[in-house]
Structure 1
Amino acid sequence: MNLHTFSYGGGVQSTAALVLAAQGIIDFPVFLFANVGADSEDPATLDYLERYAKPYAALHGIQLHELHRQRRDSTTETLYGRLTKPGSRSLPIPVRMSNGAPGTRSCTADFKIRVVGRWLKAHGASADNPATVGIGISLDEIERVNNRRAMSYEQPTYPLLDHDPPLRRHDCERIIRSAGLPIPPKSACWFCPFHQPLVWAEMRRDRPELFNRACELESLLNVRRASLGKDPVYLTRFNAPLDRAISEAGPMLPGLGDDDIGCDNGACFT
C-alpha cells in the first residue's frame, strides 16, 4: 500500500485539508511541513503551527511531521542561513533583477520538494510505488495545478478540487472556523520576493522589525553583488531598495482583506 501524505504549508488551504482529514472526509493520515528555517519562515506561520495545527492533528490521530533540510554532516541548513552565509554568492530566492525580470531560484526545490522527497523515499516511496501527495490548491487558484511537476516517487492529487463541490478559499475558511480553529496567516518566507506590495506595506506598518530585517537582507545581497561587479537586485519589482519602494499601509478598513494575495499552501507556485 502506498503512502498517503499531504504537503502542509501552514496556510488556509492546507489547514482546511487538515480539518477534512480529521473528519475522515479525505484520506491523508500524514501531513508533512517542510520548514525552510525558524529564521526564514514567517514567525506567524510557525506560531500557528505550534499553537493550533500540531495540537489539532495530534488530537485527531494525524501525524504532522516538521521536516528540515539536513546537510551531509547532519546539521540543519536554513534558507536565510544560505543567503547570509559569509562569502556566499548564492541567490536561491526569486529576486528581481535591475531590469525588472525575476531571477532564477532554487529555494522551493532545495528546501521543500527535496526535503519532502527525502522523507517519502525513506518511508518506502519509489517510482514503482509512488506516494500519493495531496496539494492544497483551491478552485480560485486552479491555474497553479499545471505548474507543479511531479517527481517519479509521487503522485500529486488535489483533494480540495476533487471535493464535491470543489472548494474555494472562502469555503476553506468556513471549514477551519467550523472546527473551532482560527484562520491561519498567509504562509511564505518573510523575505519572499513574491510578496505583493500590500503585503510588504502591511509588514512595514504592523511588523516594522521584520520589515527592517528584509531591508537589511536586501542591502547585504547588494553589497555582495557590488563587490563582484554585478547589478543590484531587489525584493520588489520597483527597481528600488525596499525601504524606498514600499510605503507604510494605511489602516485596514472594516470588512476588507487581502484574500487574493500571497501563498497559502507552501507550494511556492510550483
Structure 2
Amino acid sequence: MKTISFGGGTQSMGLMVLAARGEIPHRTFLFANVGDDSEDPRTLDYVERVAAPYAEANGLDLRILHRTRRTGERETLWGRLMRQGSRSLPIPVRMSNGAPGTRSCTKDFKITVTGRWLREHGARVSAPAEVGIGISLDEISRASNRRTEPYEQVTYPLLDLRMRRADCLAVIADEGLEAPAKSACFFCPLKSTAGWRELRRDRPGLFDRACELEETLVARRTALGRDPVFLSRAGRPLHEAISAAQDELPLDVGCDSGWCMT
C-alpha cells in the first residue's frame, strides 16, 4: 500500500500532481482533517474546490479522515481545547519567555487518525504501508523529526526527486492549478508574527476567535494557579502584541508548513 499524507499545502499538492503524471507510484492520499472549526478555512476550501476534483479526474483516491471517539462522534482540536473543564493543552502554546511548549496535536489528530485508516486497510507490522511525507529539499532537517509507527514505512518522495518548495509550486502551475495557501490550524502557536499580523488584517474574524481561545487558556491556567500561556512568541495576549500587517516584506517568515505532515 503506497499512500501520501496529504495536508493541502504546497508540497503535498505537488506530490498529487506528480502522482497524476505517473512520476511517483502513490495513488492514495490521506487528509487528516483536525476539524472544520480548526483547520485554516482556506485549506478546507482548497481541498474541496481544487484537490478533490483534480484527484478524481486523475484516478487518485483522496480520503478525508476525522478523529472519532468510540461512540462514533467526531472530535476536533478546537473542541478539545474549548471543552468546559478541560485541562488539555495539545498545541505548542508559548510560555512567558516565548518558547513553545510540548504538543500532542499532530500525533492525536493526524498520525493516529491516519494510522487507524492504514491498519483498517491492511497495514501490519509484517506488511507496513508506505506513507509518503511532503518534505522538500529546502526543509530537509524536518525529515528526522517524523515519528515512525511499526505498521508504516515513511518515505520522502520530494527528497528522492531533489525537489524544493519552489519546484512544487512550478509543477502545480504547469498543471494549470492555483497554488494552495499555507496549511495549518488558524490558531497554531507556531505561526510567525508576520502571519498573525496578516490574519488580523485580512481575516479579523479568525483572529478574534484565536484571541478567544487564548483568553480561555489563560483564564483556565490562572484558575489552576499556573503561569499564563500565549499563542504568539511575544509572551503577551494577541490583541496587545499583534498589530495589523502593512503591505511590507515580512522578515519574520517563521514556519512554512510546520511538522504537521503538510
TM range (shorter): over 0.9
How far off its partner does 1:236 sit? 1.1
Structure 2 stretches of 5 or more lacking a match? none
- The residue number in structure 1 matching 2:53 is 55
CA contact (8 A) 1:188 1:262 kept: no
Match status 1:154 vs 2:152: yes
SS of 1:118's equivalent? helix
Asked if structure 1 preserves the Cα contact closer than 8 Å seen for 2:131 and 2:154, the reply is yes
C-alpha distance in 2 between matches for 1:183 and 1:101: 31
Q: How far apart are residue 97 of structure 1 and its match?
A: 1.5
Q: CA deviation at 1:98?
A: 2.0
Q: Report what 1:262 is aligned to.
A: 256
1:218 aligns with 2:214: yes
Give the structure-2-normalised TM-score. Answer: 0.96
1:71-96 deviations in Å (ceiling 9; x for gaps): 01000000000000011111110001
- SS, match of residue 238 in structure 1: coil
Structure 2 CA distance for partners of 1:239 and 1:260, relative to 1, 3 Å? closer
CA contact (8 A) 1:11 1:264 kept: no
Q: Determine if the alignment matches structure 1 residue 207 to structure 2 residue 224.
A: no
Closer/same/farther in 2, CA of residues 12 and 258 from structure 1, 3 Å limit: farther
Partner of 1:239: 235
Q: CA shift at 1:237, angstroms?
A: 1.5
Cα distance, 1:238 vs. partner?
A: 1.2
Report if the CA contact (8 A) 2:190-2:254 is conserved.
no
Note if contact 1:5-1:28 (Cα within 8 Å) is conserved in structure 2: yes
* 1:115 partnered with 2:113: yes
Residue 68 of structure 2: aligned partner: 70
User: Is the partner of 1:133 in helix, strand or coil?
Assistant: strand
CA contact (8 A) 1:13 1:137 kept: yes
Using the TM superposition, give the Cα deviation of residue 122 of structure 1 relative to its aligned residue in structure 2, in angstroms: 0.4
Mark the CA change 1:223 to 1:258 in structure 2 (over 3 Å): closer, same or farther.
closer
1:260/1:95 Cα in 2 relative to 1: closer, same or farther (>3 Å)?
Answer: closer
Shift of 1:262: 2.2
Instruction: Kindly report the root-mean-square deviation, in angstroms, between the aligned alpha carbons of the 2 structures.
Output: 1.6
In the TM superposition, 1:1-270 aligns within 5 A as 3-163=1-161, 166-252=162-248, 261-263=255-257, 266-267=260-261
Which whole-Å deviations, capped at 9, do the CAs of 1:88-113 have from their partners, x for residues lacking one? 11111000122333212110110000
Consecutive unaligned residues of structure 1, counting only runs of 5 or more, are none
Could you tell me how far apart the structure 2 residues matched to 1:83 and 1:6 are?
A: 28
Q: Return the alpha-carbon distance in structure 2 between the equivalents of residues 235 and 261 of structure 1.
A: 14
Query: What is the TM-score when the length of structure 1 is the normalising length?
Result: 0.93
Amino acid at match of 1:247: S
Q: How far apart, in 1, do the equivalents of 2:187 and 2:206 lie?
A: 9
User: Structure 1 CA distance, aligned partners of 2:50 and 2:108?
Assistant: 27
For residue 69 of structure 1, give the secondary structure of its aligned residue in structure 2: coil
Identity over the aligned pairs, expressed in percent?
Answer: 59
* Matches of 1:260 and 1:169, distance apart in 2: 15
Q: Which moved more, 1:173-182 or 1:97-106?
A: 97-106
State the alpha-carbon separation in 2 of the partners of residues 149 and 209 from structure 1: 35
